[in-house]
Chains A and B, each alone.
Chain A
């Protein structure tokens, strides 16, 4: 079966109007942003909404804003706009660089940050990366606005804490302090990544020890921060992290919760986690010491 079934397209101009439409039509309506994920489901006949609520006209959702130390990316900002945004480059340059490598050029031009997070495909680059920015997502519904940690928002494959009638309006990233070195390494032979590892080394500051932030995604039901590995690295300077990358990567491989799928078995993913966490730590530790990484690995993007 192919081709789309008929549906009504609503194009509200305000957020309240969009929320009203979703409330009014319940199960019959789906939110349409970039459409890159939705269209795949529609064409396959896996979802059959009678109505689509296009949120691309909602003004504030298209903006990137700086708020204190935070960067607020509106839900309908396309990956290409993240890549080119001066605010993103200033506040979270790693995010702009990763945006350049999301999916393919067609997806980057129309696919949106909010759509990516709300669809919760387990093979998402952004969800993994945003975890090491302590991201929170902002949801709006008839009962008001609420903010939720990204790790709590994504509950499993294709499942989030967004209730029917709620719209994801923005994701808020906490920019890193000066001197932080980050890296994102993704690996895969298919269009969607098999594994993504995000790492950041925070320098010691007054009264606070140096800190490692580490997240792994695509391998399990949802991306996860690797808290035990982070704890083992607490207080270590970048040089020591580089030297102990093997040991930390072995810890990370134990900590992840991989599941088997077409990308490989759970055992394979655990082993790849060990390999790519080690590489990500080496890249970030090198950057923290002023050395850019030039290592290249097959089927791998190092950002």
Chain B
């Protein structure tokens, strides 16, 4: 599934860039992300993501690898993990691009991911919808965090 969104924030690109690398503030911006830590600065992170689809609760430890970082404009990352309890595997590639706009910054989000395992049996539509909700919520929280 792939979700693309754009959000305009009042912060300048450099300020938004700093926010994107601020682990505790990013944890608060990513829906379902309950913890995250730096493994290797600007290269590798470890995080945990919790999501619920109806009665099914998912808790996935994620390895996050930064694939590209071009300050203060572009980050590409890959996140992968597996919920050992229900056997769901998640992998996603996220690209964030910051462009100056009207004194603030336009952040474009491109998330492309896959869910494998029994959870996939719920259907592509259900998972796509969850992904869209999560990206929308992320965009809203970033906008609020970077416009304060």
Q: Which residues of A contact B123 (CB under 8 A)?
A: 157, 261-262
- Expressed in whole angstroms, the minimum distance between the Cβ of B59 and any Cβ of chain A is 12
Q: Could you tell me the distance in whole angstroms from the C-beta of A222 to the nearest C-beta in chain B?
A: 10
Interface flags for A129-167 (1: CB within 8 Å of B; 0: not) read: 000000000000000000000000000111100000000
Bits for A27-47, please: 1 = Cβ < 8 Å to B, else 0.
Answer: 100100000000001001111
Of B54, B85, B126, B128, which contacts A48 at CB under 8 A?
B85
In Å, the complex CA distance between A213 and B102 comes to 48
Chain B positions 74-99 with a Cβ under 8 Å from a chain A Cβ: 85-87
**Interface presence of B37 (CB below 8 A):** no
Cβ of B103 within 8 Å of any chain A Cβ, yes or no, is no
State the CA gap A48–B125 with chains docked (Å).
24
User: Are A157 and B119 closer than 8 Å at their CB atoms?
Assistant: no
Closest A residue, CB atoms, query B55: A47
How many residues of chain B are within 8 Å of chain A by beta carbon?
18
Across the interface, A1 reaches (CB within 8 A) one of B53, B56, B87, B121, namely B87
Interface residues of B in 43-84 (CB under 8 A from A): 53-57
Instruction: Find the B residue at minimum CB distance from A31.
Output: B55
- For residue B2, CB closer than 8 A to chain A, the reply is no
Knowing A46-B119, A221-B125, say if A159 contacts B54 (CB, 8 Å). Answer: yes
- Is the Cβ of A260 less than 8 Å from the Cβ of B53? no
- Does A204 count as interface, using CB distance less than 8 angstroms? no
Tell whether, in the assembled complex, residue B118 and residue A120 are in contact, meaning their CB atoms are under 8 Å apart. no
Q: 8 Å CB contacts to A: which residues of B106-148?
A: 118-119, 121-126, 128-129
A45: chain B residues within 8 A (beta carbon):
85-87, 118
Q: Restricting to A205-244, which residues have a CB under 8 Å from any CB of B?
A: 221
Of A30, A120, A259, which is within 8 A of B128 by CB?
Answer: A259
For the complex, give the distance between the alpha carbons of A233 and B55 in Å. 39
By a CB distance below 8 angstroms, the chain A residues around B126 are 122, 157-158, 221, 261
- CB-nearest residue of chain B to A47: B55
Minimum Cβ distance to chain B for residue A243 (Å): 35
| Bound CA span A41–B87, Å | 13
Which residues of chain B come closer than 8 Å to A27, judged between CB atoms?
A: 57
Given the known inter-chain contacts A157-B122, A261-B124, please indicate yes or no for A120 contacting B54, CB distance below 8 A.
Answer: yes
Known contacts A46-B86, A46-B119, A221-B129; A157/B54 CB under 8 A = yes
CB closest chain-B residue, reference A263: B123
Q: Which of B10-44 contact A (CB under 8 A)?
A: none
CA distance A45 to B86 in the complex (A): 6
Minimum Cβ distance to chain B for residue A71 (Å): 27
How many angstroms from the CA of A138 to the CA of B129 in the assembled complex? Answer: 27
How far is B127's CA from A221's CA once the two chains are assembled, in angstroms? 11
Please list 30 pairs of residues, one from A and one from B, whose beta carbons are closer than 8 Å in the complex, sorted by A's number: A1-B87, A27-B57, A30-B55, A41-B55, A45-B86, A45-B87, A46-B56, A47-B55, A47-B56, A47-B57, A119-B55, A120-B54, A122-B125, A157-B53, A157-B123, A157-B125, A157-B126, A158-B53, A158-B56, A158-B122, A158-B126, A159-B53, A221-B126, A221-B129, A260-B125, A260-B128, A261-B123, A261-B125, A262-B123, A262-B124
A residues whose Cβ falls under 8 Å from a Cβ of B: 1, 27, 30, 41, 44-48, 119-120, 122, 156-159, 221, 259-262
Other than the given A159-B54, A221-B129, A261-B123, 6 more pairs (CB < 8 A) read A44-B118, A47-B55, A158-B54, A221-B126, A260-B128, A261-B124
